[in-house]
Amino acid sequence: MAEVVIKVEGLCKKYRLGVIGTGMLSKDLNIYWAKLRGKPHPYAKIDGDPKSFEEGDFWALKDLNFEVNQGEVLGIVGSNGAGKSTLLKILSRVTTPTLGEIKLDGRMASLLEVGTGFHPELTGRENIFLNGAILGMTKQEIRSKLDEIIAFSGVEQHIDTPVKRYSSGMYVRLAFAVAAHLEPEILVVDEVLAVGDADFQKKCLGKMRDVSRNDGRTVLFVSHSLQAVKNLCDRALWLDQGRLMDMGEVTNVVNQYASNKKALQWLKEFSGPDEAIGNQWAKVKKAQIIPQLSSPDEIFDIRTPIKVVFQFWNLQDAVRLSVELAVYAYGGECIFVVPSASAVYQKGLIHSECMIPGNLLNNGSYFISLYVVKDTTTTLFEWHECLSFDLEDYRGEIQWYGKWHGAVRPKLPFVVKPIEEHGFNLKGEI
């Protein structure tokens, strides 16, 4: 019978939204003064209720209860904003819960970031000590593991060079080497493995697995990569909007999470114009993402073409309309905008569809925004970030697993071939 080492009971976290104070004493006094005189809020948003002084609450975590046994590797999955980071922050004691408590048995260390507190002017060796101490090691402990850490990082030759001269890879390797030698009984890891080259990633994953299997340590692991969670974890916990949706054997939970996510984010549908969102010119019937997979077992990744369907009720007669599709990256930058051809339509339901080809977008999370445009110039209706989807990575024969840069990852014809040259060979002999 394994021992329970983490016990989460009724954990809630509330954030206050809106006016938590403006951060300026002068402005807060100004607001207070306006309130006294019954004047509108001086810093209210234009589109907000100008009389409102109320602050909204946002529950990032709602009544979480779970237990983790010793030696377990628990993966935490959930879409953005599900409360994963909040949970980790509370576990790491960076912030406190609003209600409930977490009981821990054993020394805990958390890695929300590698290399926290690294100072560029200090040498690698000095940074090992500094970073180790920040993570909770004593000088003695660090000294006894120093050789191991240096060897693990693979930057022996540069260990007495200031880290500002390190390449980013060396920097991360050194930082992870320190973290990997923490040897806590409970380790909380955020998505820190997304950095570094493939060899090093493998080394880190291996180290994490060893830590739990051989030494009976407990690991909590958060990742967007469902693959990594499946590979590394025994059990998984699925969070959605601050609630615990499911917890159990990793494959089950991850699969459930993945299918649920699709259903929610790939389709928005309304039964009639009355309850649909929209305005006096257009009402939405349906917006949907349909990945063009040849079989249901196929993985939806960067190679998959995506059909976007948009149906709406046009509420005007004889109007020249076109539809626009915009794809945004998770960070908010627009990847591209595609307009349809314009044509004159009468009142009624209009169907539009657009195909985003496979091998175009890079892996990552994307939002789709849809627009109805009149006379190619006036936007009648815009539906911002109505759909979203995640593209899984696919590397094929490429053995490198670092972050693939770029907003897009198009597959372009690339010709590489040897050229016959006469009278010259590479040995330099004519």
Partner 1 sequence: MQQEDKKKWSLIIKPKASWFDLNLHDLWRYRDLLFMFVRRDFVSAYKQTILGPLWYLIQPLLTTIMFIVVFDKVAEIPTDGAPPALFYLSGLVIWNYFAACLNKTSVTFTANASIFGKVYFPRLIMPLSNVVSALIGFGIQLALLFVLLVYFQVFLEVPFYFNGYLALMPLLLLLVAALGLGFGIIISSLTTKYRDLALLVGFGTQLLMFATPVIYPLSFFEGKYKTFMLANPLTPIIELFRYSILGVGDFNMTYLTYSICFTLMALAIGVLIFNKIEKSFMDVI
Q: Residue 374 and residue 343: Cα distance in Å, rounded?
A: 10
Q: Residue 342 and residue 375: Cα distance in Å, rounded?
A: 7
Residue 380 Cβ vs partner 1, minimum distance, rounded to whole Å: 40
Residue 9 Cβ vs partner 1, minimum distance, rounded to whole Å: 10
Question: Which of 119/307 has CB closer to partner 1?
Answer: 119
Angle between helix axes 168-180 and 124-134 (nearest 10 degrees) is 40
> Per the structure block, which two tokens stand in for 296?
């249901």
- DSSP β-ladder status, 348-356 and 378-391: unpaired
Residue 275 Cβ vs partner 1, minimum distance, rounded to whole Å: 36
Using DSSP's 3-state secondary structure scheme, residue 28 falls into helix
Identity (one letter) of the amino acid at 318?
A: A
Do you know the residue count of the chain? 430
Question: Which of 25/318 has CB closer to partner 1?
Answer: 25
First to last CA, the chain: 77
Using DSSP's 3-state secondary structure scheme, residue 79 falls into coil
Residue 150 Cβ vs partner 1, minimum distance, rounded to whole Å: 18
Residue 128 Cβ vs partner 1, minimum distance, rounded to whole Å: 10
Question: Which of 8/302 has CB closer to partner 1?
Answer: 8
Tokens 């960070």 label which residue?
Answer: 331
Question: Which of 134/299 has CB closer to partner 1?
Answer: 134
Question: Which of 117/206 has CB closer to partner 1?
Answer: 117
Q: HSE-up of 211 (CA within 13 Å, CB side)?
A: 25
Residue 56's nearest CA partner among 100, 87, 20 is: 20
Residue 101 Cβ vs partner 1, minimum distance, rounded to whole Å: 5
Contacts to partner 1 by CB under 8 A: 4, 7, 15-16, 20-21, 23-26, 28, 89-108, 110, 112-113, 116-117, 119, 121-122, 126, 129-130, 133-139, 162
> Per the structure block, which two tokens stand in for 383?
């539906």
Question: Which of 131/314 has CB closer to partner 1?
Answer: 131
